């Protein structure tokens, strides 16, 4: 693809050789003369001059004294991500149902769809057009999957789950398993029936081996455009808002509410019935206590989660403990000497 064509497709402007042919994409460090790369951030701007990339996607204020070939975009990373799809388009849909798949006669399968080997699709389930169902997926009864969704190999969807359009579920996902609900009956636990549902809205992506539990009563909800990393657990009756991003190994206890555009780092633990308000940021490894409210736009860190400024002040104080202990020991020794002198003069 020529630089001029790519710039037009991205609705961006270019400088330099618009006829240069690009054949691939690569990082700044490894790009060659026919590769496209991008510059985002001060460090990348410094590295760009040494890069051998044939073309760079750069911000509007990128200095270009050498006159190298660049495409200017207000969001270089986003533009580059879109460009990657031109060089690495998804594999074309291979319509059809593999002969080893088991599809219940009452299931409604739109055309075209791709259903792989050993897939099981239950009673009353509806699969939208252009969906891809990978090998070994198990889809229960009364499940609805919207158009253009992708289930990679080995996804399990229990009964009564609604999945929107353009949803991506990676291998090992389990959607709609029972929530962790038990009641004490005398000297033992009995299961609290989990009879709710799961609703996943459009454009959600859920990483490998992540689990979204059905509600005990009502609905566990994942909002439009939300992205869950690998190994994320969403417990029963959680409501995750729109365009939330959650990094790996994070767990939400039952009844948690996460509002729109929140950002949650890896290995975060959120206690039951906590509320994370819109655009809050939870740093990696922090812990949110049960029923805690993280306010809109707040950045928190640590366990228990607290405002970042407070957390950093406490870290600084902790780092001084060794010195404070040494000073205290010296003071104790000096006081003891003064006391001995006083006793000697009596």
Active site residues: 236
Asked if 24 and 78 count as a contact pair (C-beta separation under 8 A), the reply is no
Burial class (CB in 10 A: 0-12, 13-18, 19+), 335: exposed
Cβ-based neighbours of 288, under 8 Å, separated by 6 or more? 268, 269, 270, 271, 274, 276, 282, 294, 300, 304, 305
Task: Please answer whether residues 244 and 265 qualify as being in contact, where contact means their C-beta atoms are separated by less than 8 angstroms.
Answer: no
**Predicted pLDDT at 43:** 86
- Report whether 85 contacts 102 (CB < 8 A): no
Q: How many CB atoms sit inside 10 A of residue 50's CB?
A: 8
pLDDT value of residue 117: 98
Q: How many angstroms separate the Cα of 289 from the Cα of each of 81, 218, 256, 274? A: 37, 24, 11, 7
pLDDT at 346: 66
How many angstroms separate the CA atoms of 281 and 312, rounded?
15
The burial of 240, by beta-carbon neighbours within 10 Å (0-12 exposed, 13-18 middle, 19 or more buried), is given as: buried
Q: What's the whole-model pTM score?
A: 0.88
The residue with tokens 């750069």 is: 58
pLDDT, tens digit only, all 346 positions of the chain:
999 999 999 999 999 999 999 999 999 999 999 999 999 888 888 888 889 999 999 999 999 888 899 999 999 999 999 999 999 998 899 999 999 999 999 999 999 999 999 999 999 999 999 999 999 999 999 999 999 999 999 999 999 999 999 999 999 999 999 999 999 999 999 999 999 999 999 999 999 999 999 999 999 999 999 999 999 999 999 999 999 999 999 999 999 999 999 999 999 999 999 999 999 999 999 999 999 999 999 999 999 999 988 888 888 888 888 888 888 898 998 888 888 887 777 6
**Interatomic CA distance for residues 278 and 326, integer angstroms:** 45
């Amino acid at each position: 693809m020529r630089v001029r064509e790519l710039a037009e497709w991205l609705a961006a402007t270019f400088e330099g050789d618009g006829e240069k042919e690009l054949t691939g994409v690569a990082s700044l460090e490894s790009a060659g003369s026919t590769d496209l790369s991008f510059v985002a951030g001060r460090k990348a701007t410094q590295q760009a001059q040494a890069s051998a990339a044939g073309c760079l996607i750069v911000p509007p204020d990128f200095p270009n004294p050498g006159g190298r070939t660049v495409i200017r975009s207000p969001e270089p990373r986003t533009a580059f991500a879109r460009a990657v799809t031109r060089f690495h388009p998804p594999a074309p849909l291979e319509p059809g149902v593999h002969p080893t798949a088991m599809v219940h006669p009452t299931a409604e399968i739109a055309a075209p769809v791709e259903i792989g080997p050993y897939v099981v699709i239950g009673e009353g389930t509806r699969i939208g057009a252009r969906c891809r169902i990978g090998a070994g997926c198990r889809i229960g009864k009364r499940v609805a999957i919207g158009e253009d969704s992708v289930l990679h190999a080995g996804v399990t969807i229990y009964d009564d789950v609604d999945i929107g359009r353009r949803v991506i579920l990676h291998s090992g996902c389990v959607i709609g398993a029972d929530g962790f609900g038990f009641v004490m009956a005398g000297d033992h636990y009995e299961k609290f029936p989990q009879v709710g549902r799961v609703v996943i809205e459009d454009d959600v992506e859920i990483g490998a081996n992540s689990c979204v539990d059905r509600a005990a009563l009502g609905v566990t909800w994942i909002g439009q455009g939300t992205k869950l990393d690998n190994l994320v657990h969403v417990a029963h009756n959680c409501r995750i808002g729109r365009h939330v991003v959650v990094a790996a190994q994070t767990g939400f206890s039952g009844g948690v509410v996460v509002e729109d555009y929140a950002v949650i780092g890896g290995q975060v633990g959120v206690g039951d019935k906590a509320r994370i308000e819109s655009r809050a940021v939870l740093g990696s490894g922090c812990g949110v206590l049960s029923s805690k409210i993280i306010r809109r736009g707040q950045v928190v860190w640590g366990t228990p989660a607290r405002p970042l400024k407070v957390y950093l002040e406490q870290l600084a104080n902790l780092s001084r403990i060794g010195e404070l202990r040494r000073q205290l020991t010296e003071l104790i020794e000096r006081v003891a000497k003064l006391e001995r002198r006083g006793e000697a003069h009596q």
